[in-house]
Amino acid sequence: MNWTPIGMLADIPRRGARCVDTPQGKIGIFRTADDQVFAIDDHCPHKGGPLSQGIVHGAAVTCPLHNWVFSLETGKAQGADEGAVRTIPVKVEDGRIAIALGEMLLAAE
């Protein structure tokens, strides 16, 4: 995989997120209460809400516009008939976060 550094783990509070602009669009980088890090599209497929501004709980995020809940692990909307966001591989080494932009996956795949 071709890893792109995007910042430091310490820059994202626990149960928080940051948004990064990439050639493939905006990506939300999420940190859970137990320091897991996930990367997904920052655009809710329902109404376009910025997921990085949502509430992180467990390994999920709630869209700030209409309360759709997305799994940070799979990108799938929970409790909805359809709806998913792409997930992006992410790694943390020595406190540095990197994402693999060429490896984005649609949750339905």
Mean pLDDT of 7-24: 95
Distance CA 47, CA 6 (A): 27
Q: Would the pLDDT of 63 be above 80?
A: yes
Query: pLDDT per residue over 75-108, tens digit each?
Result: 999 986 678 999 999 999 999 999 998 765 544 3
Residue where the block lists tokens 């390994």? 59
CATH superfamily of 4-106: Rieske [2Fe-2S] iron-sulphur domain (2.102.10.10)
Listed residue (42, 46, 43) closest to 17, CA to CA: 42
Domain boundaries, the chain: 4-106
For the stretch 35-56, pLDDT in tens is 999 999 999 998 899 999 999 9
